[in-house]
Amino acid sequence: NSEDVRCKCICPPYKDHSGHIYNKNVSQKDCDCLHVVEPMPVPGPDVEAYCLRCECKYEERSSVTIKVNNVNGAF
């Protein structure tokens, strides 16, 4: 599979939880905090507030290009 697709959520610190980056292979329509952040680091009442702070982006990239560039020493 030459296509690598994922959803990346960057969640800043929240209350006593440190910030974290979550990656998960999900469809573009499921690219949101509720589908990607596992395990959810906050209890039920705080989930909405936590997720509103997270920035989630759907990414597509070519794994073949990455492998070829790494072999050639390019980044």
Per-residue pLDDT of the chain (75 residues; tens, 9 = 90+): 446 889 999 999 999 999 999 999 999 999 999 999 999 999 999 999 999 999 999 998 766 655 555 555 555
Amino acid identity, position 34: L
pLDDT at 64: 63
pLDDT at 72: 55
What are the tokens at 74? 């390019």
Dihedral pair phi/psi, residue 46, rounded to 5° = -95, -5
How far is Cα 49 from Cα 46, in angstroms, rounded to an integer?
5
pLDDT at 67: 58
CA distances from 30 to 10, 19, 26, 39 (A): 15, 21, 6, 16
What is the reported pTM? 0.75
